[in-house]
Amino acid sequence: MKIAYFDCFSGASGDMILGALMDAGLSLEVLKKELAKLHLSHFDLQVKKILKKGIGGSQALVILEEDHHHHDDHHPQHRHLHDIKEIIGKSDLEEPVKERSIKTFTRLAEAEAKVHQTSIENIHFHEVGAMDAVIDVVGSVAGLAAMGIEKIYCSPLHVGAGTVTCAHGTLPVPAPATAELVRGKPIYSTGVQGELLTPTGAAILTTLSAGFGSLPAMTVEKIGYGAGTSEPAIPNLLRVIIGEAPYEKDETEKTSGYETDQVAVIETSIDDMNPQIYDHLMQRLLGMGVMDTFLTPLQMKKNRPGTLLTVICRPDRLGGVSDFIMRETTTIGLRWRVDNRIKAHRTIQEVQTRYGPVRFKTGRVGDEIVNAFPEYEDCRHLSLEKNIPLKDVMEEARRCILDARETEDVQRRHDHK
């Protein structure tokens, strides 16, 4: 399976995505042929080789006939979502390209509508709805398809810092619409001033990417750099790495039926903290809603015994959890990464045992229960309340869970007849 990985070390925009694909081998002629299927006129697309702080890349240039687009009522500069859906829907593009392009613009409209507290039907697309953005979005989707790329992945998104000036005035970075689009995705800022991640770039990558994190395993075939138009303190380039993913199809078959998501993993090694603090720390972290936290003994430098603190949380909680750890422990630095996770669908049910009710957690893949186990605290409560050995309560709970599973299996087989 051919995959692409977008390395957003300097953010991303629609034209940077197009430039990166062309720099990696997408033919300008092929891209123009795809865009011609939109049946739009009075624009041209060109590509220019450019250097950004010593690194070569390609800059995509959407050239509009300004007078035509500003004054022709049939080609307005600002459009509503239904206008863009109509343009794409009536085009000769392949259906998957149409669907992904419309989905991208719909997410843009939803983000803008939430920011402006209105409906998506009332949203004027200003800069993201102008002709160049239609070209950026459709060109990116069609370009990926033309290159035979089946799946794309993305690094955490560098958003920039400071403010940006747009049609609505001076706004904070990331711009409000961009911030809505990256909900649940890993983002960061190094203090580089300016808008590195635009709404169009955020919409394309968050809509099309199968996952965000470190570079996936692949045999690298092509690398391209797409150049932006600004000049921040770092090279204004978006890197795309294209290659063949080993065993991708086999691994997909193995994970079929399971749920997948991503988690942030935060770690720090500590050798100078009162161990009494760990209990308080872990209880507070769990109270904050982290998914898990655990301690691992270490042998550190100068032969000092230490402890590795590991915390797993949702990527959007990374900032708050990291700040808490820095303030509550003696560490002065953390490591973090985004990991992919495969999991069974989880449900909580309850069985009646001879000692009382006990909740149990199940892991399902489709209709099949692959795991089920009683809640420890429920069993412990009954053990203390009834003055019964804990192991007896747990064994009784497991027996009742097995009986419940057998009853459910019989009912399911009956329903399928």
Number of domains in the chain: 3
Same domain, 244 and 307: no
Mean pLDDT for the chain? 88
Whether pLDDT at 67 is above 70? no
In 236-245, which positions are buried (b, 16+ CB within 10 angstroms) versus exposed (e)?
bbbbbbbbeb
Same domain, 303 and 359: no
Whether pLDDT at 16 is above 60? yes
Same domain, 163 and 183: yes
Place of tokens 């399902």: 364
Same domain, 290 and 362: no
Angle between the N-to-C axes of helices 199-208 and 14-23, in degrees from 0 to 180, rounded to the nearest 10: 60
d(CA 152, CA 154): 7
**pLDDT tens-digit map of 183-223:** 888 899 999 999 999 999 999 999 999 988 888 889 999 99
Pick from 42, 35, 47: which is nearest to 70 by CA?
A: 42
Whether pLDDT at 251 is above 80? no
Of residues 246 and 137, more confidently modeled: 137
> What integer is the mean pLDDT of 322-340?
93
Same domain, 114 and 10: yes
**pLDDT tens-digit map of 338-383:** 888 888 888 888 999 999 999 998 888 877 788 888 999 999 999 9
Same domain, 250 and 312: no
| pLDDT value at residue 257 | 67
| pLDDT value at residue 127 | 44
CATH number for position 372: 3.10.20
Same domain, 224 and 266: no
d(CA 175, CA 198): 8
Of residues 318 and 239, more confidently modeled: 239
| pLDDT value at residue 74 | 45
Regarding pTM above 0.75, the answer is: no
**pLDDT tens-digit map of 125-179:** 654 446 788 999 999 999 999 999 999 999 999 999 999 887 667 889 999 999 9
| pLDDT value at residue 129 | 45
d(CA 235, CA 221): 23
Q: Which of 289, 308, 340 is the last residue of a domain?
A: 340
Q: Which of 340, 370, 396 is the last residue of a domain?
A: 340
Same domain, 371 and 290: no
Supply the range of the domain harboring residue 288: 259-340
The Cβ of residue 314 has, within 10 Å, a number of other Cβ atoms equal to 15
Same domain, 150 and 46: yes
Q: How confident is the model at residue 248 (pLDDT cuts 50, 70, 90)?
A: very low
Same domain, 306 and 215: no
What are the DSSP calls for 146-212, one per residue? Answer: HTT--EEEEPPEE-EESEEEETTEEEESSPHHHHHHTTTS-EE--S-BEE-B-HHHHHHHHHHEEEE
| pLDDT value at residue 357 | 94
Of residues 132 and 58, more confidently modeled: 58
Whether pLDDT at 1 is above 60? yes
Same domain, 227 and 266: no
Q: Which of 340, 365, 398 is the last residue of a domain?
A: 340
Percent of the chain with pLDDT over 90: 64
| pLDDT value at residue 126 | 53
CB 141 within 8 A of CB 4: no
CB 350 within 8 A of CB 359: yes
CATH number for position 292: 3.30.70.1380
Same domain, 46 and 141: yes
